[in-house]
Copies of this chain bind each other. A is one copy, B any other.
Amino acid sequence: MFPGVTFAPAMTDPDGIVEADAFIGRIPAEVYTQAGSKLRWVHSTGAGIETIIAIPELVASEIVVTNTRGAHAPFVAEHAFALLLSLGRNLAGFAYDQRDHVYRAYGRDVPMYSVYGKRMLILGMGNIGRAIARRALAFDMDVVGLDLMAPEETTGDLRVLPMEHLDIELQTADVVMVAVPYTAETDNLIDARRIGLIKPDAVVIGISRGRIIDEAALAERLRDGSLAGAGLDVFAQEPLPADHFLWDAPNLVMTPHCAPKSAQTRDREFEITFENVRRFVGGEPLLNVCDKVAGF
């Protein structure tokens, strides 16, 4: 495929890094310390690069970091909707009923709600946030996106505002969709104070990374019944330990950080990765170059 290029699998050929020009994958810190001076490109086959830029020497170096951003957007957006609809349509409750052969006609005694006409606040208007917005608009939702970088805009039914509007927007949102990347700026962005601003009938969905939402404050509002529900695919600690307080929080739907997973995802990741290898070999500018300081 690429004559003259040797691919050394990091798992079976750990010494390959010494002579490597590039590393495909989220390079572990201990592998990076063994890299030679030829290393000039690290490519994350996922969207997040937080483990890569946690290596200060790599950030300070000339090494270019790229990712597969955009590849995961439709899949993560779909999973975000699965979590959201699961809450309103009581899918977990009906799954337990099915196992027990219990038919509650018309969802009797089960509160059910629709996203129709509700307001979704999306934090992070990158590819994933925009993919979520497009789906939310098709579900007849009112959509407001906040972003740290994107300029203020109104395109059709979609409004994008600066992140400064966060506190006020949290107070009117029916769905708080957390899709920002994890960076120094978004660490604990939805802290206990801001969780306190969210309406009682609202739901919170966390789809990008843990450590952005204060899990203890979220669980507290779920337990005291002052928040309608939450859906989390990401956690501050992964894998989530069996004795973690989140497991049994009421009206919480949890999935094990699998939002991007699908039979189609690898095809799209591979397309971008393959194209970047082609460009790297040919000396062309790479796709999806990340800002190592901003963190995405």
Residues of B within 8 A of A114 (CB): 74-75, 78, 262-265
Asked if A34 is at the interface of the complex by the 8 Å CB criterion, the answer is no
Chain B CB within 8 A of A138 CB: yes
- Sorted nearest first, the 9 A-B pairs with minimum C-beta distance are A138-B138, A107-B258, A114-B262, A92-B95, A82-B85, A82-B89, A101-B242, A103-B239, A74-B116
Complex: how many Å from CA A185 to CA B97? 33
A90 to B137, CA, bound (A): 25
Contacts of A140 in B (CB 8 A): 74
With A85-B81, A105-B239, A134-B138 already in contact, the answer to whether A255 and B113 are too (CB < 8 A) is: no
Which parts of A227-277 form the interface with B (CB within 8 Å)?
A: 238-240, 242-244, 247, 252-258, 261-265
Contact residue among B78, B102, B108 (Cβ-Cβ distance under 8 Å from A139): B78
Among B82, B113, B134, B253, the residue within 8 A (CB) of A263 is B113
Closest chain B CB from A199 CB (angstroms): 14
Q: Are A240 and B103 closer than 8 Å at their CB atoms? A: yes
Tell whether A79 is near chain B: CB-to-CB under 8 Å. yes
Q: How many whole Å from A211's CB to the nearest CB in chain B? A: 17
Total copies of the chain: 2
CB <8 Å contact, B79 and A89: yes
- Interface presence of A186 (CB below 8 A): no
A91 at the interface (CB under 8 A from B): yes
* A5 on the B face (CB < 8 A): no
> Looking across the interface, which residue of chain B has its beta carbon closest to that of A137?
B138
State whether B116 touches A256 (Cβ < 8 A): no
**CA–CA, A265 and B106, complex, Å:** 13
- Interface set, chain A 85-130, CB cutoff 8 A to B: 85-86, 88-92, 94-99, 101-108, 110, 112-117
